[in-house]
Chain A
Amino acid sequence: MTTTDTTTAPRTVSRAEYCVIACAEAWRDNGEVLASPMGLIPSFGARLAKRTFSPDLLLTDGEAMLVGLDGTAEGWLPYRRHLTMVTGGRRHVMMGAGQIDRFGNQNISCIGDWERPSRQLLGVRGAPVNTLNNPVSYWVPKHSKRVFVERVDMVSGVGYDRAEAAGVTRFHHLPRVVSDLGVFDFAGPGHSMRLASVHPGVTVEDVLAATGFEPAVTGEVPFTREPTAEELRLIREVIDPKGLRDREVRV
């Protein structure tokens, strides 16, 4: 995809870079909350958001410290306090998903029958507490029918239909799902997944063919927005100079 803007010559934006932009957008206007990215591209997105339009975000070093962009420690966040950040609501996590359905029910526990799984994954981890207490977005680096399924095998992260049925909607909020093909929100019927944008180079048909349920598609689906020249410079020169992003998403 080649575009021009006012400050640079034409340049090609990679799919991975659109994914970084789409992830960064999840934290726009979040204010002074902890950005908890799981996975490489979400962590680049969080850092890009903090460097540009969401400077108040808090970040961790992946261990027990709150750190600034240069690694300067500004606070202590061991696991027990991290869990308080979750239940206090001052956090927006972007988790992965082994499976996810149209209402945002997510599974990272196991594939198949829980009693005797065909593939044991991590376990539910903090997905149940996350989804009932602070905003939870998802990142799927390889969009496929195996991940985007009609029904997940073990609900770890709670989706809209289950949250409503269980009466736990008070702090439940799933802002977006980003994949290597596009971005979804939950503005479809009954809080179901809606295709919010496709990354340039991807068609709506591509997304539908790789999705195991029918997401809502309303009108003309826009493209994921272009990075600004400054954002592209930050991604390439400051945030990910080694180009690790192109290993997570190769297109």
Chain B
Amino acid sequence: MSGRTDKVMTPEEVVGQLRSGMTLGIGGWGSRRKPMALVRALLRSEITDLTVISYGGPDVGLLAAAGRIRRLVAPFATLDSIPLEPHFRAARERAAFTLTELDEAMFMWGLHAAANRLPFLPVRAGLGSDVMRVNPELRTVTSPYDDGEELVAVPALRMDAALVHLNRADRLGNAQYLGPDPYFDDLFCEAADAAYVSCEQLVETAELAKSGPPQSLLVSRHSVTGVVETPNGAHFTSCVPDHDRDEAFQKLYAATPWDEFSARFLSGSSEHDYQLAVRTWHEEQQ
């Protein structure tokens, strides 16, 4: 380890590096492998006025319900097994934030553009749809080749900071996914000026190659600013194979008025308090 940078931080230290008004990317997809412990730390702070870039799940729902989002860039928000995210819906129906609604592929190429320091990438998506109407700032480009096709120029989704959650990481910021889908977490890290990786388990570098094949080493340390060990940190979203989605708790989240949910589960002073409140709730259900 000598001479190399130890990037281990606490959730509070991560949030200490964020500011109101920032553009924040959040990895995962829907209600899958969301960096929920970091989102909860954000909720315990005063940070607000955020532009959030996300394939939206309860990260979006929580931040929207707490009034922290000024602008959302997303192709959807869902809890997967519960198709519609209730707090995202409620916030949209009271026009609580500005939405930049993009198609899933447009969103992906926006991440690629940002990660590659390109101003935009062309996609065959969006044209003919109302995405162009509701995002009048979107521009088109014409292919310079013989086909002359008109395409949408998706602007780079560059972000001040990215938050992602993976299964394993070392202290330097190398991080590994052990589930079946990388989602776009590597792109989020590369598209951001600072990226914070939470993980189920912090391990020695040598352990990473033993836990999975080389291609599971998704995120490399050059694109990571901070590493946080947060066991069960994706709760209640899934983080397979470490844990499945907590379906019972997700149902509770979707069915409970925000103030009540927030008071019981999010009013503590740490991630530990949250995990304890969840355990207590589960014990009560037995």
Contact A83–B108 (Cβ < 8 Å): yes
Contact B181–A63 (Cβ < 8 Å): yes
CA–CA, A158 and B83, complex, Å: 22
CA–CA, A176 and B126, complex, Å: 22
Which chain B residues lie closer than 8 Å to A129 at the CB level?
A: 103-106, 123-126
Contact A123–B184 (Cβ < 8 Å): no
Contact B106–A79 (Cβ < 8 Å): no
Contact A155–B128 (Cβ < 8 Å): yes
Binds A, one of B86-94, B161-169, B246-254: B86-94
Is the C-beta of A197 less than 8 angstroms from some C-beta in chain B? Answer: no
Range, interface on chain A:
35 or more
Is the C-beta of A166 less than 8 angstroms from some C-beta in chain B? Answer: yes
Is the C-beta of B130 less than 8 angstroms from some C-beta in chain A? Answer: yes
Contact B129–A124 (Cβ < 8 Å): yes
- Looking at the assembled complex, report how far the CB atom of B88 sits from the nearest CB atom of chain A, in whole angstroms: 7
Which chain A residues lie closer than 8 Å to B104 at the CB level?
A: 79, 83, 125-126, 129
Q: Which residues of B contact A (CB under 8 A)?
A: 29, 56, 74-78, 83-84, 88-89, 92-95, 101-106, 108, 123-131, 133-134, 149-150, 179-184
Contact A122–B128 (Cβ < 8 Å): no
CA–CA, A132 and B152, complex, Å: 12
Partner of B124, one of A64, A124, A133, A155: A133
Contact A156–B130 (Cβ < 8 Å): yes
Contact A79–B184 (Cβ < 8 Å): yes
Which chain A residues lie closer than 8 Å to B56 at the CB level?
A: 123
Given the interface pairs A86-B105, A128-B106, A129-B106, the reply to whether A168 lies near B128 with Cβ below 8 Å is: yes
Contact A166–B127 (Cβ < 8 Å): yes
Contact B128–A165 (Cβ < 8 Å): yes
Binds B, one of A112-120, A223-231, A242-250: A112-120
Can you give 21 A-B contacts (C-beta < 8 A)?
Answer: A63-B180, A63-B181, A64-B180, A65-B180, A79-B184, A80-B184, A87-B105, A114-B101, A114-B130, A117-B93, A124-B101, A124-B103, A124-B130, A126-B75, A128-B131, A129-B104, A132-B127, A155-B130, A156-B129, A168-B150, A171-B124
Which chain A residues lie closer than 8 Å to B89 at the CB level?
A: 119-120
Is the C-beta of A78 less than 8 angstroms from some C-beta in chain B? Answer: yes
Partner of A124, one of B76, B88, B95, B183: B76
Which chain B residues lie closer than 8 Å to A119 at the CB level?
A: 89, 93
Contact with B along A34-78 (1 / 0, CB 8 A): 000000000000000000000000000001110000000000101
- Looking at the assembled complex, report how far the CB atom of B190 sits from the nearest CB atom of chain A, in whole angstroms: 14
> A61's closest neighbor in chain B, by CB?
B180
CA–CA, A241 and B21, complex, Å: 54
